[in-house]
Structure 1
């Protein structure tokens, strides 16, 4: 799958890099939030925890809603003066930003990503897509 390697256990222990793969099941969102929160705590990035957890939660939820295969999450803290986060799934179509009405219960996930991140985008792969975002490192 795009953005997810078979060696996630080994790569997850690389300093400044973490990677996980989740089945497309409802518990994936909670598990992703927990792992992202714990990893950022280990990396000493407390200031980025809340926003990163929120954005990962939104992107994993989108993947869960539209894709049926595994969902991958990667984080790089040594990608420059920012934290790079990627969420991958096997669905090749890129997500579409919607304009949600005031009373809509959904449709704001990509708007949140666009507003809260330094930059964001998508890239296709051989078997799916990756949605990524960057958050500026404090300091």
Structure 2
């Protein structure tokens, strides 16, 4: 009987990757909080996961004309501009530091939870493979 690791951890692996990408985007927003004209960006996690799940079967990128077709992009999401809740301060920057910090902390907690879930899945698989010993 073949073991399909993608069925075991595929969804959570994708979630971890998207959360990691989102942390980088939010960190970039925080780093540019004082940059005039900078527009805060974000990743819509639900949309990114739906896109990743849809691309799960065809996740290969076509690199040569004679290769079997794949997706045009390896990225399962599009960056979106964050809509500011505060009025413009005059420099065109839309980064709201407190909003970004809160988003970073929430995303970090969810990232950690996903890692713990993946860890427990893999430990369970290891235990099953070793015959319940360990």
Q: Same fold (TM over 0.5)?
A: no
Q: By percentage of residues, which structure has more strand? A: 1
Q: By percentage of residues, which structure has more helix? A: 2
- TM-score (norm. length: structure 2): 0.30
By relative contact order (CA 8 Å, sep 6+), the higher-ranking structure is 2
Query: Greater CA radius of gyration, 1 or 2?
Result: 2
- TM-score (norm. length: structure 1): 0.29
